[in-house]
């Protein structure tokens, strides 16, 4: 691995993960970028250059994939968990249990698997950091959102407990909770329906992936004694989940 400090970014093939990888590389990190769509992380690493990035395939729901990924990472000081997302907007009465399971696997157990694997290296670095992209959905539940709300509340608990359990060790844990960010998030949520995804951001200005990445880079560059536990950020047009100002 190169001489720059190493940052693992999961979900680096699009959206917040790709933008975070770019922001961290610009800030002097060597980013190990992981996602299932290998060609996209390879293109990102190609753009950033060999000093600043390495691309590796990663499916955070698959233990073998996580083990293979981690075997190729050494000396990690920062992990940014961006792999995640929502599936559907079904109400509880009609909820598809497999979709709930999938959201829990990605948003919660994926964070657990990768964090567990990296924890010894993060602590051994003397200044380790875990940054998790959570969501305002963790504490602002909404009709149709229960599966995603539960998953993001679950990962929020993981962040809190990790901070408690590692007190006294050189590790910081930050949960960044964005509101609406225009990425592939809604396209994935609505199973590739571009019209439904576009309607989410109609008449309002959402955050961009770069807006969130700037905060990731800011958190990652604080001095070792400064811990930002939780950062909540939203577009000005969104007061709460479901309370959005639209011009139309
Ligand atoms: P996105 O553009 O859809 O990015 C999601 C990323 O997660 C992709 O790179 C995807 O890559 C990766 N991913 C999904 N399943 C994975 C798996 N099993 N293993 C590895 N990587 C996986 O959406 P985004 O908005 O950037 O989402 C990033 C995070 O922000 C998510 O946790 C999301 O819940 C959270 N968030 C988003 C918003 C929003 O409004 N956009 C708001 C709050 C929080 P591959 O498909 O290539 O694997």
pLDDT score at 223: 98
Give the position, in ligand 1's atom list, of the atom nearest the Cα of 62. Answer: 18
Residue 179 CB neighbour total at 10 angstroms:
20
pLDDT score at 1: 47
Ligand 1 centroid, distance to 90 Cα (angstroms): 19
Domain presence at residue 195: yes
Percent of the chain exceeding pLDDT 90 equals 98
Domain presence at residue 88: yes
CA distance 210 to 215: 9
- Residue whose entry in the numeric block shows the structure tokens 């905060």: 215
- Beta-carbon contacts of 39 under 8 Å, excluding residues fewer than 6 positions away, are none
Ligand 1 binding residues, C-beta < 6 A: 10-11, 13-17, 35-37, 58-61, 82-85, 106-107, 133, 135, 178, 180-181, 183-185, 188, 209
- SS3 state of residue 35: strand
Overall average pLDDT of the 84-88 stretch: 98
Domain presence at residue 215: yes
Nearest CA to ligand 1 atom 13: 83
Residue 2 has pLDDT above 70, yes or no: no
Domain presence at residue 1: no
Terminal-residue alpha carbon distance, the chain: 52
Cβ(5)–Cβ(28) below 8 Å:
yes
pTM: 0.98
Ligand 1 centroid, distance to 123 Cα (angstroms): 26
Residue 247 CB neighbour total at 10 angstroms:
8
Query: pLDDT tens across 171-220, in order?
Result: 999 999 999 999 999 999 999 999 999 999 999 999 999 999 999 999 99
Domain presence at residue 214: yes
Domain presence at residue 130: yes
CATH code of the domain containing 142:
3.40.50.720
Angle at which helix 38-48 crosses helix 15-26, to 10 degrees, equals: 20
pLDDT score at 32: 98
pLDDT score at 59: 99
Strand extents, DSSP E, the chain: 6-10, 30-35, 53-57, 76-81, 128-133, 171-178, 181-182, 207-208, 230-233, 238-240, 243-244
Nearest CA to ligand 1 atom 39: 181
CA distance 123 to 160: 17
Give the position, in ligand 1's atom list, of the atom nearest the Cα of 38. Answer: 47
Ligand 1 centroid, distance to 17 Cα (angstroms): 7
Identify the band that residue 248 occupies on the pLDDT scale cut at 50, 70 and 90.
Answer: confident
Interior/surface letters 212-225, b for 16+ CB within 10 angstroms, e for the rest: bbebbbebbeeeee
Domain presence at residue 169: yes
Query: pLDDT tens across 23-51, in order?
Result: 999 999 999 999 999 999 999 999 999 99
Is 142 a catalytic site residue? no
Residue 114 sits in which domain range?
6-244
Percent of the chain exceeding pLDDT 70 equals 99
Bridge-based pairing of strands 243-244 and 238-240 is antiparallel
Query: pLDDT tens across 148-179, in order?
Result: 999 999 999 999 999 999 999 999 999 999 99
- Residue whose entry in the numeric block shows the structure tokens 């019209």: 195
Ligand 1 centroid, distance to 168 Cα (angstroms): 32
Q: Give the residue, out of 57, 89, 183, 213, with the most ligand 1 atoms within 8 A of its beta carbon, to mutate for a pocket test.
A: 183
Paired tokens of 177 = 């909770």
State the chain's mean pLDDT as an integer: 97
Number of domain units in the chain:
1
């Amino acid at each position: 691995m190169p001489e720059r400090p190493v940052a693992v970014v999961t979900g680096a093939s699009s959206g917040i993960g790709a933008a975070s990888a770019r922001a961290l590389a610009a800030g002097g990190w060597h980013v190990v970028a992981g996602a299932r769509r290998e060609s996209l992380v390879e293109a990102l690493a190609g753009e950033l250059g060999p000093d600043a990035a390495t691309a590796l395939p990663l499916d955070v729901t698959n233990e073998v994939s996580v083990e293979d990924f981690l075997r190729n990472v050494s000396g990690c000081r920062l992990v940014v968990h961006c792999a995640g997302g929502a599936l559907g907007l079904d109400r509880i009465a009609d909820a598809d249990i497999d979709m709930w399971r999938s959201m829990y696997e990605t948003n919660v157990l994926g964070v657990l698997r990768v964090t567990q694997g990296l924890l010894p290296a993060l602590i051994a670095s003397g200044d380790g950091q875990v940054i998790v992209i959570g969501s305002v959905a963790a504490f602002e539940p909404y009709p149709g959102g229960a599966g995603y709300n539960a998953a993001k509340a679950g990962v929020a608990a993981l962040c809190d407990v990790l901070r408690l359990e590692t007190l006294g060790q050189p590790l910081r844990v930050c949960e960044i909770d964005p509101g609406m960010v225009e990425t592939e998030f809604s396209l994935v949520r609505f199973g590739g329906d571009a019209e439904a995804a576009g309607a989410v951001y109609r008449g309002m200005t959402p955050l961009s992936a770069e807006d969130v990445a700037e905060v990731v880079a800011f958190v990652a560059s604080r001095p070792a004694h400064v811990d930002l536990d939780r950062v909540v950020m939203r577009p000005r047009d969104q007061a709460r989940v479901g309370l959005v100002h639209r011009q139309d």
